[in-house]
Amino acid sequence: MRCFVAIDVEEREILRKICEVQRKLIAADYNHALKPVEEKNMHITVKFLGEINEKILPSLFEILKGIKFPRFTVTLKDVDFFPNERFIRVIYVRCLSEELNALAETVNEKVCKLGFEKEEFKGHLTLARVRGRLNGTLLKILKDVRNVYIGEMEVDKIKLKKSVLTPKGPVYNDLLKVALE
């Protein structure tokens, strides 16, 4: 099963502002190059685990439940791109917080004990995936929203999520919820 550790975006005002940016992009996307993330799927990925064997779930649950980390605030601002501005495959909002970086590092270190690879973390919330050529109008809108401020949100839990890929897009299910202190 395909899994990841994430922070859901649940604050209505944050979601409203994210969707406002998305709507601007979608309105300029007349050649349907973008696959926007659905509002219900908005999250910050702390650690992508990929395909895992269900047999390790009890150990993974135990490791994640054992993480003791204080609640914190994360700032969502600025639109950016993976891998870079000249070759855009993913459009995202930066998620900035020293505590978020520390949490990701902690999760990374803990799950490595189960054989997962340690990866560099870059705090982000995906707005859309790019599946075609971006038109000039859309590129201009991207430039206009580049320095957007979405807001701050409190992070009080992380979740282990299962991701099932379907033709209509991914379906996420929570497997575990871990409250932060």
Please list the active-site residues. 43, 124
Instruction: Please give the structure tokens belonging to residue 25.
Output: 């992009």
In single-letter form, the type of residue at position 111 comes to V
- Distance between CA atoms of residues 103 and 47, nearest Å: 10
Q: Please answer whether residues 90 and 45 qualify as being in contact, where contact means their C-beta atoms are separated by less than 8 angstroms.
A: no
User: Residue 174, exposed/middle/buried by CB under 10 A (0-12, 13-18, 19+)?
Assistant: exposed
Contact residues for 127 (Cβ-Cβ < 8 A; gap 6+): 18, 21, 22, 25, 36, 37, 79, 91, 92, 93
- Distance between CA atoms of residues 106 and 139, nearest Å: 37
139: three-class secondary structure by DSSP:
helix
67: three-class secondary structure by DSSP:
coil
